[in-house]
Amino acid sequence: MTNLVSNWRQAKNIHKQIGKVAKIVSWTKVYVAPSGFEADVPYYAGIVEFRNGQRTTVQFVDFEDEPAIGQNVVTVVRRIGRQRPQDVIQYGIKVKPY
């Protein structure tokens, strides 16, 4: 079961991460997803670098074409998922074209 306390703690700070611009450093198209994400395949994921030099791994959303190295993206909040219908829906940061 999803830990409600953990979700709450993460959600309290998520607003600080929304709207940050980054550039794609590396990306891949995922065809075989981990447990709980099978319905999302295929999807793009990769490494992005923010203006302050920080890098992170993140899932890409709302791409009509393949991502490109150096392409600008912006952070958004999207549904991450849930394991079972009775679990709390988890939300997190993903990136979309800027």
Q: Would the pTM of this model clear 0.85, i.e. be above it?
A: no
Per-residue model confidence (pLDDT) at position 82: 66
> Is domain 4-97 given the CATH code 2.40.50 in the classification?
yes
Q: What is the pLDDT of residues 39-72, one digit of tens each?
A: 889 999 999 999 999 999 999 999 999 999 999 9
What are the boundaries of each domain within the chain? 4-97
The confidence score (pLDDT) of residue 38 equals 82
User: What is the chain's length?
Assistant: 98
pLDDT 10s digits, 12-47:
777 778 899 999 999 999 999 888 788 889 999 999
Q: If you average pLDDT over every residue of the chain, what do you get?
A: 87
DSSP structure string for 34-86:
PTT-GGG-SEEEEEEEETTS-EEEEEE-S-SS---TT-EEEEEEEEEE-SSTT
The pLDDT of residue 57: 96
